[in-house]
Every structure is written in C-alpha cells, then in structure tokens.
C-alpha cells in the first residue's frame, strides 16, 4: 500500500528536516505501508532533493505525481498541459514530464533498484478562457514521451482529475474519462490510468457514482492505481465545499481520527477497492488540517488507514 504522505506531512509547506525525518521514520515502521506517492514541484522534494534521496526508506516503492507542479504552472501558463491544443503549452508539458522521468532515475540510482513504479501525469490544461485540451493532443504528447525512452520499468499513467462539466465550477477541469481512455487506445499496457477517489467525487457530485467510474476504467483494462482521498460537500477545516483538499476517511470503526463531513466512508472506500479489482498499486492520501500538529497523530491516522485497507476490500 502506498501513502500520499505529503498531504499529511508536518514539513511540506514549512520545511523542518527534523519533523520530516521523524515522519519518514514512522512511516518506515508501518509494516502495512510499502511506498510513498511523492509530489513533483519542479523537483523531487519541495525543499531539499538531497535530503529526500538520503532519507527515502530503502524498502519503499514510489509513485511520482505531477499534479502539484502542474497546478503551479497553470497559474501563470493557463495553456500548459500534455493535452493542450496550444503547441507551446503542450511542448512545455512534455519537457516537464521528461524532467520528472529524469527525477525518477535519480531515485532509482539512490536506492540501487527500480523504485519508482509509475509517474502520474495529467490531462491539463483547465478548460478556461482560450485554454483547451483534447484527446488528440494528449495522445501526441504520450507518443513523444514514449519515443524519448528512458522510462525503464516505470509505468506512465494519466491520473484522472475532475473534468470540466456543466452545472458547477471545476477544481481541475481537465479531460473527461472517455477522452483520456480514447487517448490511450492502442498504447502498450505500461501506459494506463489511475483514479483519486476524491477528485472523481468532486467531478460527479455524487459519491455513490465514483465506484462506477472506477469500474469503467478497470473494465477498459487501463486502471493501474487507486488512491483513496476524500471530499466534502460542505466547508470543513480542510477547505471549502468540493475542494480538492485530501479529506481523510469519515470516522469509522478502526478509524477514529476522521473528518465527519468527508464523503469517503468506509463502505464507499471498500466499494472503490472492489471496483478497481487487481491494480498495480493502491493507497491513501489523507491530509491533516492543523498545520501545527505533532508528528505522532499524523502517523496514527495513516497507521489506522493502513490497517483497514492493506488487506483489500474485505
């Protein structure tokens, strides 16, 4: 099981090497955790790449996600993205994806093995103003990335984020599932998709529809990974309604440290895992609303989630 640990890190926004070391050591001590989802923000670590390479637990695998860096780039470059119909914006995103590839190789070199299982890319840009995305542009970008080579054993996946749909504002506003699947048609099995439960709930506005979306991607033979992350229809300490804020699971037996307004219940989480079937990785990505909280309760939350989900849907 992977953990999107940066969402609950005590030192993601404000660098504190001692707190981050305590956090990583605690994660390494959890038998049910086998890896980390790491955020790409133009570098492997938001503060210190050398620190990460030295402290990354050697038994862990990793998935690199481009979403934090993609959202930063979109603030100033709204036509940036692998699915962009603007050629300059698309080319810039291809270059960034190749930089992530090179970052993955640095992790593998530091650990002495094939550590990075996958790189999660995204079908940006957000549909706004004159920024547009298309399945054809995304397909072209993926072809260029594969032609560039150097991926070794690392899979390329498109992590589905909430698509731009009528009736409500989007958080990400990227391509729809059908467009992403169309872009992947005829690609080898090493190219696939992953789903973040909360982002699909934000798109669909109905938490009970998320498992169906997961099943569609799995049925197409393209689902590589599933990350459980919550969402809420109301404001919470994590953010406003329908914010992509990594809400933890709602409180449940075995998981007392939860967010009561989270739409990700234990039953829905288990339904999502069952719908996904056999995937290359699954995990949790739960945030912590109190930025000043100590390391111990953050680890306790992740440990509780790991105990609940490491055995699968049962």
Q: Concatenated DSSP letters for 221-240?
A: T-EEEEEE-B--SS-BTTBS
Confidence of residue 311 (pLDDT cuts 50, 70, 90): low
Q: Are strands 155-160 and 116-121 parallel, antiparallel or unpaired?
A: parallel
Predicted pLDDT of residue 313: 40
Residue pLDDT, tens place only, 88-141: 999 999 999 999 999 999 999 999 999 999 999 999 999 998 999 999 999 999
Residue pLDDT, tens place only, 14-66: 999 999 999 999 999 999 999 999 999 999 999 999 999 999 999 999 999 99
Where residue 239 sits, what CATH number does that domain have?
A: 3.20.20.150
Does residue 125 have a cis peptide bond before it, meaning omega lies within 30 degrees of 0?
yes
Instruction: Tell me whether residue 221 is in a domain.
Output: yes
Length in residues, the chain: 314
Instruction: Tell me whether residue 29 is in a domain.
Output: yes
Cα(55)–Cα(61) distance, integer angstroms: 13
Instruction: Tell me whether residue 210 is in a domain.
Output: yes
DSSP-derived secondary structure letter, 179: H
Instruction: Tell me whether residue 122 is in a domain.
Output: yes
pLDDT cut 90: percent of the chain above it: 96
Q: Do residues 201 and 245 lie in contact, with contact meaning Cβ atoms separated by under 8 Å?
A: no
Mean pLDDT value across residues 270-280: 97
Number of domains composing the chain: 1
Q: Do residues 167 and 203 lie in contact, with contact meaning Cβ atoms separated by under 8 Å?
A: no
Predicted pLDDT of residue 310: 79
Instruction: Tell me whether residue 113 is in a domain.
Output: yes
Mean pLDDT value across residues 272-295: 96
Instruction: Tell me whether residue 314 is in a domain.
Output: no
Cα(98)–Cα(147) distance, integer angstroms: 11
Predicted pLDDT of residue 251: 97
Instruction: Tell me whether residue 245 is in a domain.
Output: yes
Predicted pLDDT of residue 14: 92
Cα(118)–Cα(281) distance, integer angstroms: 9
Instruction: Tell me whether residue 181 is in a domain.
Output: yes
Residue pLDDT, tens place only, 195-219: 999 999 999 999 999 999 999 999 9
Mean pLDDT value across residues 160-180: 95
Give the up-direction half-sphere exposure of residue 57: CA atoms within 13 A in the CB hemisphere: 25
- Domain of residue 77 covers 2-309
Mean pLDDT value across residues 213-236: 98
């Amino acid at each position: 099981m992977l953990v999107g640990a940066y969402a609950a890190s005590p030192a993601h926004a404000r660098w504190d090497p001692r707190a981050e070391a305590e956090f990583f050591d605690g994660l390494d001590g959890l038998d049910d955790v086998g890896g980390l989802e790491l955020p790409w923000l133009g570098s492997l670590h938001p503060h210190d790449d050398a620190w990460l390479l030295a402290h990354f637990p050697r038994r862990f695998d990793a998935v690199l996600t481009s979403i934090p860096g993609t959202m930063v780039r979109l603030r100033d470059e709204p036509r940036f993205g692998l699915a962009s119909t603007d050629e300059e914006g698309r080319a810039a995103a291809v270059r960034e994806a190749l930089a992530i590839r090179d970052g993955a190789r640095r992790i593998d070199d530091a650990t002495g093995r094939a550590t990075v299982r996958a790189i999660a890319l995204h079908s940006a840009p957000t549909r706004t103003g004159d920024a547009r995305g298309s399945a054809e542009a995304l397909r072209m970008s993926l072809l260029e990335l594969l032609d560039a080579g150097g991926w070794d054993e690392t899979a390329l996946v498109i992590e589905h984020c909430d698509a731009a749909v009528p009736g409500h504002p989007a958080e990400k506003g990227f391509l729809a599932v059908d467009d992403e699947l169309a872009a992947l048609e005829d690609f080898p099995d090493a190219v696939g998709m992953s789903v973040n439960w909360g982002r699909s709930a934000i798109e669909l506005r109905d938490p009970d529809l998320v498992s169906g979306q997961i099943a569609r991607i799995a049925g197409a033979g393209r689902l590589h990974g599933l990350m459980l992350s919550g969402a809420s229809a109301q404001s919470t300490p994590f953010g406003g309604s329908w914010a992509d804020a990594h809400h933890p699971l709602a409180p449940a037996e075995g998981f007392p440290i939860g967010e009561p307004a989270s739409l990700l219940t234990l039953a829905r989480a288990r339904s999502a895992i069952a719908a996904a079937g056999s995937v290359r990785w699954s995990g949790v990505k739960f945030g912590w609303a109190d930025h000043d909280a100590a390391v111990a309760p953050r680890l306790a939350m992740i440990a509780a989630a790991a105990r609940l989900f490491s055995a699968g849907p049962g």
